[in-house]
């Protein structure tokens, strides 16, 4: 492994603040070199925003993103964390990911640069530390789509193939994804320190998190209550955004919940076509714990696990600490609900609030559920007043609802144009529909990346409503077999 010192500068400006935390938090580990790295995708706009030189990365990125060349200033490590997986507490940690360092951007922001699929670490358990090309490209496509939709998310800087074959059910090409995140501190990081660390170590983590993510926090009272409140607020905002676009994360274990409020860990996630709160895609989620309709209550459950870890910092008296934590957690549902209902109002072009709004919105959703119609396309049809295109058109209950909606819009003081504008900006024309994601991955598997590149380009502008998007709004051919996703490990 070489440290690059000469040639065109890539523009790394890495800091390693995580290494200043106590040793319990991580293990210094280098990526395992791979035989023949090949660049598959490079996210040039993201690279530029990080202050990286895209020309240098185009020439030499493959060996960096494969972990064969350690960037100047990097201090590679694997992070320790635990987590509740499907409700059960487990010790985890980066089993196939390595944090190279934190890139400080030209505008002073700090982002983790992490390689995923870069070899074994002390936390690998029985895993091989590797990742397959398909799931890494899937993360690339969906995380970029989330970014395009305006939803807080980790992003994907690059995907490289390693030249190695990895063994899953079949032999697959090995790949590494470079993930960019505000940080990789998870609820599971707090659970790990709370379980195996001292109070001082817990305090060090909480203080580090506040400094890194919540520097403008209210410190008049107890800063750790403010931390809890902020984390709850960001999760509530995030989950409302997921619900509004029909995103199903699929594996909301506490180790996959980022404290920053970004969507993280794109394993078995997928977008819902037909509206159905029971939608589950993940093959391992047999009980439907992480179904679309359960996401808000699961988020609250995960936040309760987070609050538990903070108890020793909330109050010296355990009973009082528990009471404080419980009262704070209760705020989740109100913040979530407020964000969700306001988002729904925007989706319907409504500027003002009325007491009957929730009932009115739920009537529409239950018609979608009853008649098994497409979630995204229904809102799109309403936006462009093309309801003839929806299967709801000839339903009497829908006509009644539609008339009520139109009269609400008429009564508003805002113009029709501004309400149309509001709907255009709140209802994406396109989402990464499963059949399209599969199509892009299938072509990529045959060495043709053009389908994926074209797809990602449109996904980045879901509110453009251009004719280029039309082909992506089409539904998959009807099938009796439900769409299934796999963890991609
Ligand atoms: P995930 O379900 O992707 O959130 O992963 C759960 C845990 O399993 C994390 O600690 C991962 O680092 C670890 N893991 C997943 N795949 C592998 C692998 N192929 N080798 C080693 N560890 C893995
Ligand atoms: Mg994970």
- The answer to whether residue 382 sits within a structural domain is yes
* Nearest atom, ligand 1, residue 256 CA: 4
The CB density around residue 245, as the number of other CB atoms within 10 Å, is: 23
For the entire predicted model, the pTM comes to 0.97
Whether residue 376 has pLDDT greater than 60: yes
Name the closest ligand to CA 257.
Answer: 2
Local confidence band at 164 (pLDDT 50, 70, 90 cut-offs)? very high
Query: Using an 8 Å Cβ cutoff, are 97 and 113 in contact?
Result: no
Per the listing, tokens 């995204």 go with: 376
141 lines ligand 1 (CB under 6 A): no
Query: Has residue 186 been placed in a domain?
Result: no
The tokens describing 323, both together, are 């009471």
Q: Which ligand has the minimum distance to the alpha carbon of residue 267?
A: 1
pLDDT of 385 over the 60 cut: yes
Select from 424, 447, 465 the last residue of a domain. 424
Domain count, the chain: 2
Ligand 1 site, residue 95, Cβ cutoff 6 A: yes
414-469 pLDDT, tens digit each = 999 999 999 999 999 999 999 999 999 999 999 999 999 999 999 999 999 999 89
Q: How large is the average pLDDT for residues 154-161? A: 98
Average per-residue pLDDT for the chain: 96
Dump pLDDT digits (tens) for 61-115.
999 999 999 999 999 999 999 999 999 999 999 999 999 999 999 999 999 999 9
Are the beta carbons of 85 and 70 closer than 8 angstroms?
A: no
Q: Is 119 in the pocket of ligand 1 (CB under 6 A)?
A: no
Ligand 1 atom 23 nearest Cα: 95
Q: State the pLDDT at residue 7.
A: 54
Which mutation among 92, 94, 118, 252 tests ligand 1's pocket best, with the greatest number of atoms within 8 A of CB?
Answer: 92
Which residue is catalytic, options 94, 255, 265, 273?
A: 255
Which pLDDT score, from 0 to 100, does residue 489 have? 57
Whether 255 sits among the annotated catalytic residues: the reply is yes
Percent of the chain with pLDDT over 90: 94
Cα distance between residue 272 and residue 306, in whole Å: 28
Whether residue 56 lies inside any domain: the answer is yes
Q: Examine the pLDDT at 479 and tell me if it is beyond 90.
A: no
| Sequence-ordered list of residues with C-beta below 8 angstroms from that of 6, at least 6 positions apart, any chain | none
Q: How confident is the model at residue 383 (pLDDT cuts 50, 70, 90)?
A: very high
Q: pLDDT tens digits for 256-302?
A: 999 999 999 999 999 999 999 999 999 999 999 999 999 999 999 99
Any atom of ligand 1 within 6 Å of the Cβ of 265: yes
14-18, 73-77, 216-220, 311-315, range with the lowest pLDDT: 216-220
Last residue of a domain, one of 151, 181, 211: 181
Q: Which atom of ligand 1 is nearest to the CA of 267?
A: 3
Q: How far is the CA of 88 from the centre of ligand 1 (A)?
A: 16
- Ligand 1: residue whose CA is nearest its atom 11: 95
In the reported structure, the alpha carbon of residue 254 is separated from the centroid of ligand 1 by a whole-number distance in angstroms of 13
Whether 288 is in a domain gets the answer no
Q: Is residue 64 part of a domain?
A: yes
Q: Is the CB of residue 267 below 6 angstroms from any atom belonging to ligand 1?
A: yes
Domain that residue 387 falls in:
350-424
pLDDT tier at 6 (50, 70, 90 boundaries)?
very low
Computed from CA positions of residues 317, 323, 329, 335, in that sequence, does the dihedral angle turn out positive or negative?
A: negative
Query: Has residue 59 got a pLDDT over 60?
Result: yes
Is the pLDDT confidence value at 166 over 60?
A: yes
Of the listed ligands, the closest to the CA of 187 is 2
Is 176 part of a structural domain of the chain?
Answer: yes
Residue 270 within any structural domain of the chain: no
- Give the domain-ending residue among 150, 181, 212: 181
Task: Give the Å distance between the CA of 256 and the centre of ligand 2.
Answer: 5
- Which atom of ligand 1 approaches the CA of 253 most closely? 4
pLDDT recorded at residue 290: 98
Please check whether residue 487 lies inside any domain of the structure. no
């Amino acid at each position: 492994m070489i440290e690059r010192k000469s040639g065109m500068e890539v523009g790394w400006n890495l800091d390693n603040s995580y290494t200043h935390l106590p040793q319990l938090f991580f293990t210094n580990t280098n990526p395992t070199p791979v035989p023949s790295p090949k660049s598959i995708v490079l996210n040039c706009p993201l690279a530029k925003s990080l202050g990286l030189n895209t020309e240098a990365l185009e020439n030499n990125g493959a060996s960096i993103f494969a972990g064969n060349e350690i960037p100047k200033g990097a201090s590679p490590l694997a992070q320790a964390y635990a987590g509740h997986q499907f409700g059960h507490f487990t010790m985890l940690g980066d089993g196939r990911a390595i944090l190279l360092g934190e890139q400080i951007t030209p505008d002073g922001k700090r982002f983790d640069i992490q390689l995923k699929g870069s070899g074994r670490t002390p936390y690998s358990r029985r895993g091989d530390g590797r990742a397959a090309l398909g799931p890494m490209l899937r993360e690339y496509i969906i995380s970029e789509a989330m970014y395009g939709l305006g939803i807080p998310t980790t992003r994907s800087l690059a995907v490289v193939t390693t030249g190695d074959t990895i063994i899953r059910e079949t032999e697959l090409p090995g790949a590494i994804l470079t993930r960019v995140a505000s940080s990789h501190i998870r609820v599971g990081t707090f659970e790990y320190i709370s379980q195996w660390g001292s109070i001082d170590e817990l305090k060090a983590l909480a203080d580090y998190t506040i400094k890194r993510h919540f520097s403008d926090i209210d410190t008049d009272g107890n800063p750790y209550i403010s931390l809890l409140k902020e984390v709850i607020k960001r999760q509530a905002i995030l989950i409302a955004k997921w619900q509004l676009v029909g995103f199903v994360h699929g594996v909301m274990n506490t180790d996959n919940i980022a404290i920053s409020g970004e969507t993280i860990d794109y394993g078995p996630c997928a977008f819902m076509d037909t509206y159905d709160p029971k939608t589950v895609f993940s093959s391992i989620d047999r009980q439907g714990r992480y179904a679309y309709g359960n996401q808000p209550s699961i988020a609250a459950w995960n936040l309760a696990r987070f609050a538990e870890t903070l108890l020793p910092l909330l109050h010296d008296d355990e009973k009082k600490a528990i009471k404080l934590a419980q009262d704070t957690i209760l705020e989740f549902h109100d913040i979530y609900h407020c964000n969700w209902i306001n988002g729904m109002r925007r989706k319907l072009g409504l500027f003002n609030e009325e007491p009957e709004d929730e009932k009115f919105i739920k009537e529409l959703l239950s018609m979608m559920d009853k008649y098994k119609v497409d979630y995204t396309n229904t809102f799109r049809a309403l936006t462009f007043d093309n309801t003839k295109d929806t299967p709801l058109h000839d339903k009497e209950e829908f006509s009644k609802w539609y008339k009520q909606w139109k009269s609400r819009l008429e009564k508003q003081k805002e113009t029709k144009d501004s309400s149309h504008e509001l709907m255009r900006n709140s209802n994406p024309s396109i989402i990464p529909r499963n059949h399209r994601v599969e199509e892009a991955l299938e072509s990529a598997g045959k060495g043709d990346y053009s389908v994926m590149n074209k797809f990602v380009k449109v996904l980045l502008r879901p509110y453009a409503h251009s004719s280029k998007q039309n082909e992506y709004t089409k539904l998959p051919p009807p099938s009796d077999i439900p769409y299934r996703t796999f963890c991609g490990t």
